């Protein structure tokens, strides 16, 4: 299996509900390093998995739409704990929509999987993998 990974970052404010979250129940900021890994079993005719420039541009578009915002105020996340795991899925699903719409070019139609990893710190991260 071949993979290509591109990277960006995401800065948000949010709070959580539930005793399990301790002090994170209060409004706080989070900065994530975001990796998007594109997967396919065979390279295209140019020996690429996906155009890295287009992949980076589309990942940036997805994270820019979330960055510098209080997610508690976003109607899309009303009543939802926007955990690292949950946000990895949001980024993956929004990126998959862009892939499906052709934003990563014709070579991307043969991608078989996408993994988004959000690094919460240098010692903790969460992944979400989905088929394409």
Q: pLDDT tens across 77-104, in order?
A: 999 999 999 999 999 999 999 999 999 9
Q: What is the pTM of this model?
A: 0.95
DSSP alpha helix (H) spans, the chain: 52-66, 84-100
The band of 12, judged by pLDDT with boundaries at 50, 70 and 90, is: very high
Phi, psi (rounded to 5 degrees) for 81: -75, 110
Banded pLDDT at 6 (limits 50, 70, 90): very high
Share of residues in the chain with pLDDT > 70 (%): 100
pLDDT at 107: 85
Pairwise CA distance, residues 58 & 50, whole Å? 12
Look up residue 117 and give its two tokens: 């990893």
- Percentage with pLDDT > 90 across the chain: 98
Round to whole Å and give the CA distance between 13 and 84: 12
Q: Each residue of 64-73: pLDDT tens digit?
A: 999 999 999 9
Q: List pLDDT tens digits, range 34-63.
A: 999 999 999 999 999 999 999 999 999 999
Alpha carbon distances (Å) from 132 to 31, 96, 98, 100, 107: 27, 7, 11, 8, 13
In the CATH hierarchy, which top-level class contains the domain 2-30+42-131?
alpha beta
Run of H or E residues at 118 = strand 113-119
Query: Comparing C-alpha atoms, which of 30, 27, 36 is closest to residue 12?
Result: 30
């Amino acid at each position: 299996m071949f993979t290509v990974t591109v990277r960006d970052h995401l800065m948000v404010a949010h709070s959580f509900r539930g005793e399990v979250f301790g002090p994170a129940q209060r409004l706080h900021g989070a900065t994530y390093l975001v990796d998007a890994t594109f997967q396919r079993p065979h390279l295209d005719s140019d020996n690429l998995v996906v155009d890295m420039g287009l992949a980076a541009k589309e990942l940036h578009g997805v994270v820019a739409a979330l960055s510098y915002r209080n997610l508690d105020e976003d109607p899309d996340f009303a009543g939802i704990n926007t955990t690292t795991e949950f946000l990895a899925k949001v980024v993956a699903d929004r990126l998959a929509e862009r892939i499906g719409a052709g934003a990563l070019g014709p070579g991307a139609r043969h991608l078989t999987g996408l993994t988004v990893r959000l690094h919460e710190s240098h010692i903790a991260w969460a992944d979400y993998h989905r088929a394409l």
